[in-house]
Every structure is written in C-alpha cells, then in structure tokens.
Structure 1
C-alpha cells in the first residue's frame, strides 16, 4: 500500500546520506577547523589571562575598590577625577606623549635601519647579538651603568668629560634637574630599544627573495636605497606592522627605566609616566578602581594607535 508517510526503511537511507554529507566537509573547512584546533591552546590561555582580566579591569574602573571592601559602583567618578582634578595624571600624560613621540618613531627607524645595515654585513649574527643584548638585560642593572654616566657630581663620566673640555663650568644634576630628567630617560630608552622589533626586521630582511632584487636591477633600480624603498619595504609589511605595534606599546609602557633613573616620584614629577601613576595607585595606595581607570585610558590610547598602524601597513588586497 503506497502512502505519503515515509516508513522506517525509506527514511533510514536518507538519514544516513544526510549524516555523511554533514561529516564530509569541504577541504577549505577542514583546513580552517584544523587551524583552530592547533590554535585552541593559545586561544584558551589568551582568553583566560588577557581578555578576561582586561574586561574585569574595565568593570573595576567604574567602581571604588581598595582590596579591603567589596567593589562599590560609582559610575564615571574615577574618570571625572582623572581628567578634571588629577593634575599629576595630566603631567604624566604630557611626559608619556613627549616620550612616545620621540622614542616611538626614532626607535622604530633605528631598529629597521640598523637591521638593514647589519643584514648587508659579514658576521651579522655577532652584530645582531651585540645590539640585542641591552634589551634583554635588567633595567635595574643597566641603570647602575647609566647613573654612573649621568652622575651629578664631577666624578660622573659625562660631567667629567664636559668639565675637561670646558663646555660646562660646574657639574650638571642630570637626574635631579626636572629639565634634564626626561631627556636622560629618552636617551637610555633608545639605547635599550633594539629588542624584538629589531630581530623581526632582521629576520624579514633575510627572507626577501633574491630574485626580486635581480628583477629590480633589470627594471632600472640602480642603488641600495631604491631597492629598500621599492622592494624591501613593500615585501616586509607584516614585519613593519609588528614593529610599529611593538614600538607603540613599548613607548607608552615605559616605567622601569624611568623609576630606576629618576626615582618614584621623580623631582617635580618630571619623569612621571602613565604607568608610574598606575603603579602608584595600584600597589602603593591600593586604590584599584582608580588604577583600573588609568589602565583603561592607556588601553584605549594604545589600541587606537595600533589600529592606525594596522591601516598604514596593511596590504590593500587584504
């Protein structure tokens, strides 16, 4: 007897075909799922230890929290105090932006140009190691050397040289004078800036295909600087992007070397940075709600500048 209702025998093959069609993924989806499977350990750790703490910090920025009492919701009060009543925070913003405007672009260009020069030398591994070592050395250890150079008495190395050459008539208090503290911190930070970005640039330069330079010479490129502008830089956009983001984060995250050189707080807050202000309220005063608002402002600034860097160095075909 024929009817419009499917029986179990007729429905079973259709169900099996449907299951096989679900399990039979396209090669593209297999590749995507395999990639996410290998990426899953990092994603889990990234969400647990980065995303969730950042979101919780933003939540705490709208509360009053001192670690002894439960967090109390106060809305935008922390941000109002931060921008309208906290003169030291405004000073820290000024110092950090001055520091970032100088050290960010300069350290970025220095890292790239030195990597480009070293890549064309023999024994580049030795030179790369020599430039990279300061970035992995402790800031406290390096500050001992630099404090000897910028010591405020006549036995300081820089004062000794300047006095012998007749450039100055009395020793300069390099790390005690509010006018010279920030330039000293900038100089030391630039010397320590040949870090991860430098190695990434050097690795990227070594991966540029030699055939591109040969083709460029046939097309009319005559010197190294034309090769750099027309071939090397366009080919190294991913490394250039990473270096830009790394320079932005490093320049806005200055703390250790500023405290080691100028103290905490520095004279007249001349070397006070946003991270120093955050550290003061989080780990000295234990006002974690207010410290979280400082961290949120710093996160927004660095995230915005990072997005600008991505637009500048991203490929147009992506």
Structure 2
C-alpha cells in the first residue's frame, strides 16, 4: 500500500476518533449542556445571528424600501477612502476612549478600593453617592451639564469665570471645537462609576482576610504591597470584567455626545462612530452602509478585548 493511501487512512481514523470523542463528551455531560442550552439559544438568536446579518448587509445597498442589492466591498471602500466624516469620527472615538477608558477604569478601582477600606456601615452611603450618576438618565444629566456649560452669561461656569475675572465674555463651551470633546470626556468620567465599579467593590470585599494575615507573616508591611501582591491578583476576574465593560462603553459613546454637542456637532468635533451609525441608519436609512459601520465597530471592539484578555486573562 502506498504512503499516500496510508496517510489518508490515518487522517480518516484521526477524524473518526475525534468525532467519537466529541460525541462521548456530549453524552457524558448531557445534563450540563442541557442547562446551558437556554443561554446558547439566546446567544445565538440575539448575538450570533445579528452579527452575521449585519456582516451580510454590509456587502449590500439596502434602504429598507427596496430589497438588498449586492455591492461587495463598496461600502467599506467608501468608508475608508471617501467618507472623511467617518475618519474624523474614528479619531474622535479613539481620543475619547484613550482618555475615558484608562481614567475611568483607574478611578473606578481606586474609589472601590478606598470604599472597601472604610467601616462596613458607611460603605452603602459612599457607594450610592458614586454610583448614582451612572444610573441617572442621560436626559437628566444633560440638563444639569448644559446649565453648567451654557454658552451665555447665565451658564454657571461662565458666570463664575467672568465674576472672578478669568473671562471677559462668555465662552461657547459646547460650540467651540476646542472644548466640545473635553466637555464630553469630563461628563463621561463623571458617569463612569457603573457596573465595573460595583464589580471591583464586590471583588475587593470578598478577598479572604487570611491572605492579608499570611502576607504579614511573609513580610508585607505597607498598603501598596498588600495591593500589589495580594489584592490585585485576587480580583483578576473582576479586573478583566471591568476592562471589557470600559472598552465597550468607551467605543459606544453616543447619548452624551448627542445631548451635549447636538447633532451634528460644530465641524463634527463631537461626532463619534455610534453617531455616524445613527446618522446613516435612522436619518438617511442607508442600512447597508450603516451595517458596514457596525461591523468596523464590532471588529474594533473584538480586537481591543482580545488584547485585554491577553493581559488580564488566566494563562491556564
């Protein structure tokens, strides 16, 4: 028998063994898979199928009124070679993510760490104070911040700046291209104490005290040593969870930018990827082009999350 025939038989045997092994594992763990079935079904219906549908629509011209018409990669070509506003939106979104992502993440952890070190009876009050901005509606928050950054003399910041002599005339905070993005970043940081903050607080509260006692025996003397050698390794899953949430929320900034800077903002200074997606999906009804924007945003999120998993995920 020739070597090619032997190799073919060996390959078939390996494939058959793998199929038999997979089926054996499915049968032996059928109860576990049965309990996981509802999640897999929901994940398939609300995540996998929409992503595949968006990827398919991104290769078509679809305006809702007419059937989708195949255009291939034309939408992506237009996005990156002809759509200057989209490129500006990518720059604005990445600028926003670079500032709000690390800063919001560090602020959430530091505040959670500080709260975890105060007496138990006071923790609820401080947790509520820092978490409340995250659960307040964007409309309510925008009303408060629009009053603070109003471009006339009645705006609170302009009023005090003129009163103390810093400004001679009101500054158009939400119309000037130099200050639109900084204001959006500031407001987003104020509302960044969300689910990630609660996850950090829960993780810090559940670190076993035995580890700190063992650390003292092993030579840990300072709080920063406890933090670095005991606390951070113990809450690695929460750190990963918070990082993923931070990336997703940073790249999906939309409502705050729309509420503060308007649509469209001055010279598109507050225009983000999600705002661009909203424009083409629900204003122009060019769903194929909007799907291409969504796919680019999805790939950007997946890439950044992959980096985070490599940094914070368990190697084993």
TM normalised by structure 1 equals 0.89
The equivalent residue for 1:71 is 68
> Alignment length, in residue pairs?
291
Q: Secondary structure at the match of 1:172?
A: coil
The equivalent residue for 2:208 is 209
The equivalent residue for 2:275 is 276
Q: Does 1:312 align with 2:311?
A: yes
Q: Could you tell which deviates more after superposition, 120-129 or 138-147?
A: 120-129
The equivalent residue for 2:79 is 82
Q: Shift of residue 284 of structure 1?
A: 0.4
Q: Secondary structure at the match of 1:151?
A: coil
Structure showing greater Rg: 1
Q: Shift of residue 29 of structure 1?
A: 7.1
Q: Does 1:182 align with 2:181?
A: yes
Q: Shift of residue 33 of structure 1?
A: 3.4
Structure 1 Cα separation of the partners of residues 64 and 268 of structure 2: 27
- Offset from partner CA, 1:235-284 (integer Å, 9 cap, x none): 11111110011000000000000000000100110000000000000000
Structure 1 Cα separation of the partners of residues 212 and 245 of structure 2: 28
- Offset from partner CA, 1:40-89 (integer Å, 9 cap, x none): 21211111011101110001000000001110111000000000000000
Structure 2 Cα separation of the partners of residues 221 and 161 of structure 1: 48
- Offset from partner CA, 1:100-138 (integer Å, 9 cap, x none): 000001000000110000111121111111111111111
Q: Secondary structure at the match of 2:67?
A: coil
Q: Shift of residue 37 of structure 1?
A: 2.1
Q: Secondary structure at the match of 2:267?
A: helix
The equivalent residue for 1:5 is none
Q: Could you tell which deviates more after superposition, 58-67 or 221-230?
A: 221-230
**Unaligned 5+ residue runs, structure 1?**
1-24
Q: Secondary structure at the match of 1:170?
A: coil
The equivalent residue for 1:154 is 153
**Aligned pairs for 1:1-318 within 5 A:** 32-122=29-119, 123-316=122-315, 318=316
Q: Shift of residue 39 of structure 1?
A: 2.0
Structure 2 Cα separation of the partners of residues 218 and 29 of structure 1: 49
Across the aligned residues of Structure 1 and Structure 2, the Cα RMSD in angstroms comes to 1.4
Structure 2 Cα separation of the partners of residues 74 and 82 of structure 1: 14
Q: Shift of residue 35 of structure 1?
A: 2.9
